[in-house]
Amino acid sequence: MVLAKQYYFYVLLCADQTLYGGFSTDVAKRVATHNAGKGAKYTRPKTRRPVKLIWQQAFSTKHGALSAEWQFKHQSRAAKLVFLKQHGVKLHW
């Protein structure tokens, strides 16, 4: 049996308390890459690391995951916090 490839939208809480949304097919590997300072330009500065995975959602299509990432990134911080709260993420500052 061949398993269908999964695509993921994920959200990271950065060390400076900012939020980062991304896309990957291997979230654990991608988080490790961010924490190594070799991920996205946004997470490279030492002030943003370490990052912590706080949310991930699987999609059966790349388009679905990329759409979720785009929607998350193009909203205000307040709206991002509402999204996370609606999905059961409890942030402790």
2 — pLDDT class (breaks 50, 70, 90): low
Bigger pLDDT: 1 vs 52:
52
Q: Is 11 exposed, middle or buried (0-12, 13-18, 19+ CB in 10 A)?
A: buried
pLDDT tens readout for residues 30-46: 999 999 999 999 999 99
pTM confidence score: 0.93
Residue 84 DSSP symbol: H
Is the per-residue pLDDT at 4 higher than 90? no
Is the per-residue pLDDT at 93 higher than 70? no
